[in-house]
Amino acid sequence: MVLIPVISKLNGKRVVLASASPRRLEILTNIGLQFEVVPSWFKETLDKTLFKAPYEYAVETAKQKALEVAQRMPLKHLKTPDIVIGADTVVTVDGVILEKPIDKQDAYQMLSRLSGKEHSVFTGVAILLCNEREGELTVDFYEETKVKFAELSEEMLWEYINSGEPMDKAGGYGIQALGGMLVEYVHGDFLNVVGFPLNHFCKQLSAIYIKPSESPTHKIKGEDSAVSAASRTSEQDMVGPSYTKSNNEGLPHNIVDLLDGFKASKTLFTACRLKVFDVLRASEGLRVKVAAERIGASVTGTERLLDAAVSLGLLHKLGQGENTEHASQFLVTDSPLSLHGYILHCNNVVWPLFTHLESAVREGTNQQERAFGKKTGYLFQDGYFKKDEVEMQFLNAMHSTAKVTGRAVATAFDLSGFKTACDVGGCTGAMAYEFIIAHPGLSVIVFDLPTVIEMRSHFLPGEQNDSVSFVAGDFFKDDLPKADLYILARILHDCSDEKVDELLSKLSKACTTGCAVLLAETVLDEAKTRASRAYMQSLNMLVQTEGRERSSAQYKQLLESHGFSRMRVCHTGNFLDAILAYKQ
């Protein structure tokens, strides 16, 4: 089967992988497919008892993942995909689907059940074609691979479990890594066990996009009616959005989306600054005139702002205004997961800096002096912020993003082996509280500058917990509190390379063998196939600080140079990814 003609048919299309799995990302990247990653928000709560066979459950879950992303992207990302790929992998033994283990004991039960037995790995895949003349067309299929485990001793079981690898894997093992030592044989597609049946996927693409005269493969085993219909559709009908037809004549929607992107951002910023979502939350369906009076704006301006917010999916009921579920959850100021503080920070700090992006690119330096009239290093040093509204606004921004991303970071890895943690530069403690909720046996010390610690009372949760404590100090100048685990969330990316080396050297000296560091940062994908947000964040660091974002390979090299090994990366699909590495 020739892959290049298949892949070339997708050139110019917006292809989206609705999965945060680094394994699927790597498999598709390796064949030269150009795509972006938008992890699905679909909650995998389908009732397994309603499906006659495990593969039916996997296929339906894959469909729902793809549909959720296809429906969300035009509203939330201001992009309309051409193709969305959803996938779900399940491990079954004795007819029972094994999920990801919830803790070490659960992993032990799963692996014990697989010991000495043959089991099946099913991956369901859905290819959602979003720009067909008749609407959306879904092509779905599944692949089954048989895997046989060797008889596993108690020692081998626990050695593997304690490596931490089983905790984010269906069935409790990863065949492409340490889990491969447990496997006696594989019958079928190896990559299907890793997480994506590449061969079957390419055959399906061939059936959709290559006419019979172009491909020696006319019939595909297990081809369903949707694929058959797709293969009979002419190539012109399947090309994608209108601007790629007729020799690329027409409107280039992807470019227009980018041209209008700043307008959408400023619409969100303005609505938040005027507290539109608070006003509408208090009185849903409010008339425009009354809404204008409450936000202190003109009727004409308010009406157009509300109309624009409706078009962006932030409000319902054009002309009246009613918060959407996400607006109520993330944009109302006093919502537990409100991003209001971060949005104001983007408007007041990030927006002015990005107006000097061209200068930043030409010079390779941050634009603090051009935007604000003075240079700065770390934000709370050198007197850059005073104890006033600006400082509180920054703390609000950090607090709101920590609340939203904290749980994803805290649950990225099994941390049950750690008893004490130090959240270095932990700001308001929002991240620390998420860690103790996720790991009840853990106690966390928040270590940050005295200026920050003094203001923590404004952000403490209603029900405080003795498992979180606060210590004032400068992590570059003062000794770090003793701990088994050191958490650094959005710290390294703010620092120059010299400061990063200085801080990691300090951490390395503070750690004993078996201690670990957990970094929460935006991890760049070297193949540049993940969602563009990571690369926008990389530009943000260029205009704002002396720091930078890094790829997983760069973090690995950096951590190993300071004595940390066994690095693991979890792409959370949230603001921050998570990296865990142990002191040698």
- Which sequence positions are flagged as catalytic? 88
CA 118 → CA 11, 88, 184, distances in Å? 41, 20, 9
Alpha-carbon dihedral 174, 179, 180, 181, rounded to 10 degrees: 180
Say if residues 165 and 177 touch (Cβ distance below 8 Å): yes
What does DSSP assign to residue 426?
A: -
Cα(71)–Cα(192) distance, rounded to whole angstroms?
A: 27
Q: Is the dihedral of CA 286, 316, 344, 257 positive or negative?
A: negative
Query: Token pair for residue 76?
Result: 């939330």
**In DSSP terms, which residues pair with 581 in a beta bridge?**
517
Say if residues 529 and 424 touch (Cβ distance below 8 Å): no
What does DSSP assign to residue 96?
A: E
Q: For residue 540, what are the contacts with CB-CB under 8 A and spacing of at least 6?
A: 350, 353, 354
User: Three-state SS for 132?
Assistant: strand
Cα(84)–Cα(66) distance, rounded to whole angstroms?
A: 6
Work out the angle between the directed axes of helices 497-510 and 552-560 (0-180°, nearest 10). 50
Cα(41)–Cα(72) distance, rounded to whole angstroms?
A: 9
What are the DSSP calls for 427-477, one per residue? TTSHHHHHHHHH-TT-EEEEEE-HHHHHTGGGT--SS--TTEEEEE--TTT
Query: Token pair for residue 483?
Result: 């701990």
How many residues would you count in the chain? 584
Query: Token pair for residue 182?
Result: 């447990």
Q: End-to-end distance of the chain based on CA atoms, in angstroms?
A: 46
Q: Cβ atoms within 10 A of the Cβ of 421, count?
A: 27
What does DSSP assign to residue 298?
A: -
Q: Cβ atoms within 10 A of the Cβ of 209, count?
A: 21
Alpha carbons within 13 angstroms on the beta-carbon side of residue 520 total 29
Is 238 exposed, middle or buried, given 0-12, 13-18 or 19+ CB atoms closer than 10 A?
A: middle
